[in-house]
Structure 1
Amino acid sequence: MKMGRGVEWAIHSCVNMAWTPAGEAVNSARLAEYYQLPAAYLNKQLQALVRAGVMASVSGPRGGFHLARRPENITVLDVVLALEGPDPTFRCEGIAGNAPEADQHVNFVRSCLISQTMRQAELVWRQALARQTIAGIADSMGRRFPDSRQKALEFLADAG
């Protein structure tokens, strides 16, 4: 399984926004500069989060993005699904039904042990991501890297 790199960018962006005062907009160009990312591509990721209800956008000279919900109510799975979509990563095509003498009355997509294994693994993966919140990551980052929050906030607040 391979996710787009925008997932990492979006999660970091959400963490930065969790550190800002509630409702305060973060300029996406400044955020892109902070991480040395292409601004237009980061903006696309943030717009996808707006469409998913994870972020809200604010227009105007002091505009940008902010979290649409409290960070403890936003999971990593919310971010991943907003960017990657809800479709399963594994798609069983039921090829076991193509084998010689296969019973054509069997739903091989449902009965295939390989498909069941992959669906179970994805369920565990999604459950793990659903347990991790943006607030939890932000708190952990603050404990592990005590200066990270203040440095990020100062950079993002500076007009450049």
Structure 2
Amino acid sequence: MKLPVSTEWLLHCATTLAQLEPGATASAAQLADYYDLPAPYLAKQLQALVRAGVLAATTGPRGGFRLARPAADITLLRIVEAVDGAAPPYECREIRRQGRGALPPEDCRDACVLAAKMADAHRAWRDSLRGVTLADILGELPPTAPARTRSRLMAK
């Protein structure tokens, strides 16, 4: 499974926002500059996190984005699903019923074993991401990372 590049962007942006002082915000332009990303496209992607309740957005000269809830309440799965949706990446089209090798209908009453294994893998992947919060990620960063992030993000 290959996720769009915007997934990486938003995972990093959410982690960056989690490193800010409580109540502080960063604009889409600041985040885009920090990561050298196209600001208009990033702003559009950040809105997906606002719609999902991961981020809150404020307008005005001091406006920007901040976490909408504590970092301990935001899982990686929530961020990924905000960008990519929750649909499984594998879709069984029942090709075992086609062609010269077609199985009779009575042999296809149960789910295809390949589809079942792919569903198991997707479920395991989702469960893994559901078990990791932004607070967990922050806990694995070097202790100097938040201060460095804040100083570089707010420079300019």
The TM-score, its normalising length taken from structure 1, stands at: 0.89
Q: Structure 1 pair 103/30, CA: closer, same or farther in 2 (3 Å)?
A: same
State yes or no: 1:147 paired with 2:148: no
**Mapped partners of 1:33, 1:23: distance in 2:** 21
| 1:104 CA displacement | 3.1
Match of 1:111, SS state, is coil
Equivalent in the alignment of 2:117: 117
Partner amino acid, structure 1, of 2:98: N
Give the aligned length.
155
**Mapped partners of 2:97, 2:23: distance in 1:** 54
Equivalent in the alignment of 1:126: 126
Partner amino acid, structure 2, of 1:130: R
**Mapped partners of 1:106, 1:146: distance in 2:** 58
| 1:116 CA displacement | 0.6
The TM-score, its normalising length taken from structure 2, stands at: 0.91
Give 1:1-160 correspondences, 5 Å limit: 1-99=1-99, 100=101, 102-104=103-105, 111-141=111-141, 145-158=142-155, 160=156
| 1:102 CA displacement | 2.8
CA contact (8 A) 1:11 1:134 kept: no
Percent identity, please: 37
Greater displacement, 35-44 / 46-55:
35-44
CA contact (8 A) 1:27 1:156 kept: no
CA contact (8 A) 2:57 2:63 kept: yes
Match of 1:90, SS state, is coil
CA contact (8 A) 1:55 1:68 kept: yes
Superposed CA deviations along residues 73-126 of structure 1, whole A, max 9, x for unmatched, are: 000000100000111111111111225553336666x61011011000111111
**Mapped partners of 1:22, 1:93: distance in 2:** 49
| 1:23 CA displacement | 2.8
CA contact (8 A) 2:20 2:146 kept: no
Question: Pairwise CA RMSD of aligned residues?
Answer: 1.7
Structure 1 gap ranges (5+):
none
Partner amino acid, structure 1, of 2:87: D
Partner amino acid, structure 2, of 1:153: R
**Mapped partners of 1:90, 1:23: distance in 2:** 40
